[in-house]
Amino acid sequence: MAETLLIEVGKALAVDAAKGLAHSIIGRASEEIRLAWGFRDELVKLRRKFEYVEAFLEDLGRSKQAQHSKLVDAWLNRFKNVAYMADNVMDEYAYEMLRRKLQLKLKMNDRFSKKFRNCFTLSSNNVVFRIRMSLKVREMLSLFDELDVEAKAIGLSQVEVSREAVRATSLMNSSWNQAREHASGVDGCNGFVGRKDDERKLIETLCVSFNDVNQLPMAAIVGIGGLGKTTLAKRLYDHHEIDTQFGDSKVWICVSENFNIKRLLNEMVEAVTSNKGDLSNKDGILRKLEEKLKGKKFFLVLDDVWNEDQALWDSLRESLQRIGGLPGSVILITTRNKEVPNAARAVYIHKLEGLSEGESWDLFKHKVFISDGSDLEEIGRRIVNKCKGVPLAINVIGCLLKSKQCSRREWEAIETSELWELQQGQNQILPSLLLSFNHLPSPSLKQCFAFCAVFPKDRVIEKDVLIALWSAQGFLHIPSFETRKLTEECIGEEICSVLLNNLFLQEEEIVKDGVLRYKMHDLVHDLAIYVSRDLLLIREVEDQRKVGDFRHLVFTSKKEEHELLSESPEAKTLRKLRTISFEGVHSRNWWIHARYLHTLVLKSTELSEVPPAIEMLKHLRFLDLSCNPIRMLPDSICKLYHLETLGLLNCKWLTKLPALLDRLVNLKHIMTTTPMYASKGLAKLKNLETLPHLALDGGVQGWTVDELGCLHELKGEICIHGLEHVQDEEQAGKAALNRNDKVMKLTLTWAQNREETGQGNSDEVVLDGLQPHPGITSLELKNFYGRTFPSWLMNMAVVTSELIGGNPRALTNLTMLKLLNCRNCQTLPTLGHLPFLRTLFLSKFDVETIGSEFYASSRHYYDPGNGLVKAFPSLTKLVISGFPRLTTWIVPSQKVTIVFPCLERLRVKDCPELKSVPALHCESLTHLKLHELRCLESLDIVKVCTGLTTLRMRGNSFLTSLPAELANCRNLQRLEIANFDKIVSLPSLNSLGSLQLLAISCRALISLPDNFFHGLSSLEELGLSDSEKLVSIPKSLEERTSLKKLWIIGMDSCKAIPTDLSMFRRLSLLGFSSYSVKSLRSMLEAVEQLPLLRVLAIEGFKDEQQLQEYFSDMTPFLRLHPLKELGLVGSLHIRSLPEQLGLLTRITSLHLLWFYDLEEISEWVCNLSSLESLELRLCPSLKCLPSKEALRRLTKLRRLLINDCPLLAESYVKDKGPEWHKIEHLNYIEVDGEEIY
């Protein structure tokens, strides 16, 4: 029964797909008729034939008997083939019209040479072209006549559809214009019903049971699709107890079926550094992770995992253990596959069950808002029971029923649908999802949803890219009867809204740069693949289907591409294709034969050269060449006159756009991440919406900024580099940036290294002409050398084109402002009145005083409650850096002004003359960093900001003590004090019971209170360094048995450094100076009592003899200890290392620093059989490493880092140095910070 039902469903989907195609082609035909030249009558006939044959599709949609006929299947496939052929003919005609129009313009322009014009000569004269196109259209008409005869022969009849009925299923039906709910799939919209106990048990496991466990434990949430595993994991990820335990060392990765360890580690790098993780070498990736996570607990969530390969899991765990995270680090996975937790060696498995009947009804009511006792309650309860406790199914069916406007008849129809008889299995679809898809109100909308299957599972999809892809396929044609002024983008946004309302798309919670992004639940993605299965081929290893049977082709591995090449790379095999997508797959250029492509994705394919023959893809609308080492684009690419989207993201070697780019008059989006030069003619791209990051070069043939004034459709971001080449204010003003009401982000950059003679005045007038629209949300200026900002920026108010002569409008929507390297500016703009400004960076100014001009006057912004002025009412992050002349910072009186009421993070850096940071009464301030404020005389801000969790202070020559009020910061978790030249003592910190990290490095420090450590019950990390005058360490340190990291280095005068470390049994890292310890032997004996110790660092060896003696004592204690990492910091007069180091066969990492006279590393190093990483830093005399044979015996050695070792670096230059052959076998080699292998 289920199999028969699935067959019927498949037939219905095929009919819907044909209807969607027909609607698109009819819309296209209507459009071409308006532009027709020479054979209008033929196109009119073609449209009528389409409408005529389309009537048979209505009969197919209503006749179940017809769906079981193989003859009907054949007719349907033939209809679709003819429809695509007709679309190709219209495309060819439109292309030729564009080409002729361009040729006409070129002939009228004497600037173009005869040679250039010859590139665009017609292949045939007008008469021949008309005849050829007429013949093709007549051929189409003949094929439609045959379809008519065949349809009647197999028993199909035409079903007349009224104009009103067509309008009712159009894309822009007004009934669709519902208020969109903020429903991110199952996330956020379900009130988290029925999962509180699951949440409590998992939090207890992750934060209590796994706390201090050393072997990187793993927990798994297991359950069938749609139960809310991801939702539960997100709740845990955002839980306050997880935040307390792991801080910002949290990483979330959607894994899906691509369990590639390098990819996972790269995504971890991206998460913890906020930079794109695109490193190619695994050891380089691990080093980046080590820099961020070493010595910290981290929480890693791997969502939607399918990998059952135990070896891969073991390899991942081994890689993560190399990072050096603290005990208590945890991995949490979610999976549908019951075998995955066993393969991953999960120590805790949490099986997620379906919701109870009562919980299911509560969730449904939350979605539908149905009242108890309603006429629909009984039907609703029966429908909910069919969902079997699956939250996703309940949410989806709730959205569907809500759209039926409480129609009892429609609710009953849904209840009695045969689709409920389908059973969800691993390869089947939730009935509720299929029901909801069937009720989408338009075949074209179903087309758009089905096309989403081209994205990999768990892919984050940018809305603009999705709409551009739909447009490229011709899904967004405006209905001929539509009277409103619409664009394809309007239709695309409406489709996104409908898919969101039906939970087929989910809004991403994190919105970056104002760009809206979507995701699809993996079960929804399964549905998209199912409904597109006759059109889309996703090449998988076991898939034996032929390319020629499909319209869209997606590759996922190199192997699959080679299989296709061996099958048939002939043009006829590829003729049907409208989409080819390679991503991360090395592509040969056989795709050039797919002549009817509309979409081509060659992302991350290592493509270095685009073949000139790409001009043959005349139908192409969407071309993505992102993430490739391309250095130049061929001019032939500018013959793709239909092209709408050109993707060049992360093409870092590409610096110039093609010279003939202005020929691509249909271009809407040019997506780049690095600035590129362009030729004159940008103004001709009237449809351009996404502007590339552009650089001015000042050349005669280069683009000029005034061309932007002709581009009225721009939106998103405008980023311009090289503004020193703008001639004057008049040219800048012609850019008319104040008219671009859809531009949200503006970045303006001048060259950093340039002559300043007269340049500052030029910068001022140019910036005056570049004032933006008042609606922008982000503004960034770099390297502005004017002495003052223009008035619009000083007051943050602009005059728009419609307000010329009127009052300026404030930039009230601004949320981020960066003014960087404005080194000649002597005054700051007034910014305090901006109501939504959240982030402010001010860097390198010539300002002496921050005073009243920085804040708002009383007319700007009032608190309606008490009438006080609010300055910076929404600011959460403020950075002031590089103000060399700043001496005074004043804030208005708190009696009349509320200043920074929401500030959370404040960083003041490199202001050597600043005497005081004002006492900002910011209850919300949690992070305070004061770096290199040499003349700072007071810390009043610390006295009043008692909510601090992080306080970092470095570099001061005046302060002699810290304020006693520091003890009031009871939430403080991290306290770092360094390079305070005159501080001789510190106050008691007994009240700081939340303090987890304390680092002190002050050369003048003499003493600490006896009870200094007494109240620091949460202390886990303690660092005392370079406090040369500190005589003793308080004995109260022994009370801090929770310590996990301890380093005591450079304490020359200290006579009471503890050598009995037995009470610190949780220590994982220990660092000390050899000359600061009375008995090194007793210290080393103590190491035996530290079972969790993994990192040991020792410095201060005076000479080679002392080093040899120390290691004679040290080796017996350490060779059997599970120590993983050893760091040695040397000095002058050490020319060789002790051979006893070769006995430490368990260590995996060896770091050697500051061995100034060390000339070589002896052969004994080959005995370090577990060594994986060797780092050499500041060893200027070091000439060579051990022999090639010795290094080869280090079979686990993967990583070599050489920094500030000039002689060594010279010998090991890649492929050239005399010693390179010794190390060329290693996986990762870094020299002076640069990865070379």
Alpha carbons 976 and 122: distance in angstroms, whole number: 74
- pLDDT bracket for residue 46 (50, 70, 90): confident
Tokens of 1103: 């000479």
Among residues 507, 531, 555, which one ends one of the domains?
531
870 occurs within a structural domain: no
pLDDT at 788: 92
Pair 155, 262 in one domain: no
What mean pLDDT is predicted for residues 955-984? 91
Mean pLDDT value of segment 209-234: 88
The better pLDDT of the pair 907, 10 is held by: 907
The reply to whether 567 falls in a domain is yes
Task: Read off the pLDDT of residues 435-455 as tens digits, 9 standing for 90 and up.
Answer: 888 888 888 888 999 999 999
pLDDT value at 784 more than 90: yes
pTM of the model: 0.85
- What is the tens place of the pLDDT at every residue in 326-351? 788 899 999 999 999 999 999 999 99
Domain boundary among 552, 587, 606: 606
Confidence at 121, pLDDT banded by 50, 70, 90: very low
Q: Is 743 helix (H, G, I), strand (E, B) or coil?
A: strand
pLDDT digits (tens, 9 = 90+) for 873-926: 999 999 999 999 999 999 887 666 789 999 999 999 999 999 999 988 888 999
Task: Give the contacts of 234 (CB within 8 A, at least 6 positions apart).
Answer: 187, 252
Of 606, 625, 653, at which residue does a domain stop?
Answer: 606
Domain presence at residue 1098? yes
Asked whether residue 662 carries a pLDDT value surpassing 50, the answer given is yes
Whole-number pLDDT of residue 431: 86
Q: What are phi and psi of 33, to 5 degrees?
A: -60, -40
DSSP conformational letter for 209: I
Domain co-membership, 459 together with 379: yes
Q: Does the pLDDT value for residue 158 go beyond 90?
A: no
Write out the residue range of the structural domain in which residue 577 sits. Answer: 536-606
Are residues 209 and 346 located together in one domain of the fold? Answer: yes
Residue 92: inside a domain = yes
Give yes or no: residues 520 and 551 share one domain: no
Q: Is the pLDDT at 477 greater than 90, yes or no?
A: no
Joined tokens for residue 1104: 């080679």
For residues 652-666, average pLDDT:
94
Instruction: State the pLDDT confidence band at 567, using cuts at 50, 70 and 90.
Output: very low
Residue 729 has pLDDT above 80, yes or no: yes
The pLDDT score that the predictor gives to residue 125 is 59
Neighbouring residues of 1084: CB distance < 8 A, sequence distance ≥ 6: 1113, 1114, 1117, 1118
Residues 250 and 365 grouped into a single domain = no
736 in a structural domain: no
Inside any domain, residue 693 = no
| Residue 781 pLDDT greater than 50, yes or no | yes
What gap in Å lies between CA 1185 and CA 1192, rounded to an integer? Answer: 12
* CA distances in angstroms from 342 to 185, 310, 575, listed in the order given: 29, 8, 47
Banded pLDDT at 601 (limits 50, 70, 90):
very high
Q: Same structural domain for residues 281 and 402?
A: no
β 797-798/809-810 pair status: antiparallel
Average pLDDT over every residue of 1039-1055: 84
- The whole-number average pLDDT for the span 1183-1198 is 90
- CA-based end-to-end distance of the chain: 60
Give 1112-1147 pLDDT, tens digit per residue: 767 666 777 788 899 999 888 898 898 888 888 889
Is a pLDDT exceeding 90 seen at residue 37? no
What are the residues whose beta carbons fall under 8 Å from the beta carbon of 1140, sequence distance 6 or more?
1111, 1112, 1114, 1115
Work out the average pLDDT over 1226-1233: 85
Same structural domain, 1100 and 1164: yes
Query: Where is pLDDT greater, at 267 or 10?
Result: 267
| pLDDT for 326 | 76
What is the number of domains present in the chain? 5
- Does the structure show a pLDDT above 60 at 506? yes
Identify which has the larger pLDDT, 117 or 1002. 1002
Residue 640 sits at the vertex; the CA angle it makes with 515 and 581, to the nearest 5 degrees, is: 55
Which residues have C-beta within 8 Å of that of residue 627, sequence separation ≥ 6?
A: 278, 603, 604, 649, 650, 651
Let me know whether 289 and 229 are in one domain.
yes
Q: Note whether 139 and 210 are same-domain residues.
A: no
- Confidence band of 15 (pLDDT split at 50, 70, 90): low
In a domain, 237, yes or no: yes
The 10s digit of each residue's pLDDT in 188-211 is: 444 578 888 999 999 999 988 887
For the purposes of burial, counting CB atoms within 10 Å of the CB of 482, is it exposed (0-12), middle (13-18) or buried (19 or more)?
Answer: middle
751 in a domain, yes or no?
A: no
Q: Do 395 and 345 belong to one domain? A: no
User: What kind and span of H or E run contains 36?
Assistant: none
Q: Are residues 29 and 10 in the same domain?
A: yes
DSSP symbol at 1184: B
With cut-offs at 50, 70 and 90, classify the pLDDT of residue 1021: very high
Non-local CB neighbours of 960 within 8 Å, separated by 6+ positions: 982, 983, 984
Q: What SS3 state is found at 767?
A: helix
Give the side-chain half-sphere CA count within 13 A for 966.
Answer: 22
* Band of residue 59 on the pLDDT scale cut at 50, 70, 90: low
Mean pLDDT, the chain, whole residue set: 83
Residue 1001: pLDDT band with limits 50, 70, 90: very high
If pLDDT is split at 50, 70 and 90, which confidence band does 161 have?
A: very low
Count CB-CB contacts under 10 A for residue 1196: 11
Whether residue 182 is predicted with pLDDT greater than 70 in this model: the reply is no
Same domain (yes/no): 369, 337 = no
Which tokens go with 119?
């590139």
Measured distance CA(1048)–CA(1008) in Å, rounded = 14
Q: What's the burial of 258, exposed, middle or buried (CB within 10 Å: 0-12/13-18/19+)?
A: middle
Q: What is the pLDDT of residue 123?
A: 45
Q: Are strands 809-810 and 816-822 parallel, antiparallel or unpaired?
A: unpaired
DSSP 862: B
CATH number of the domain where residue 1180 is located: 3.80.10.10
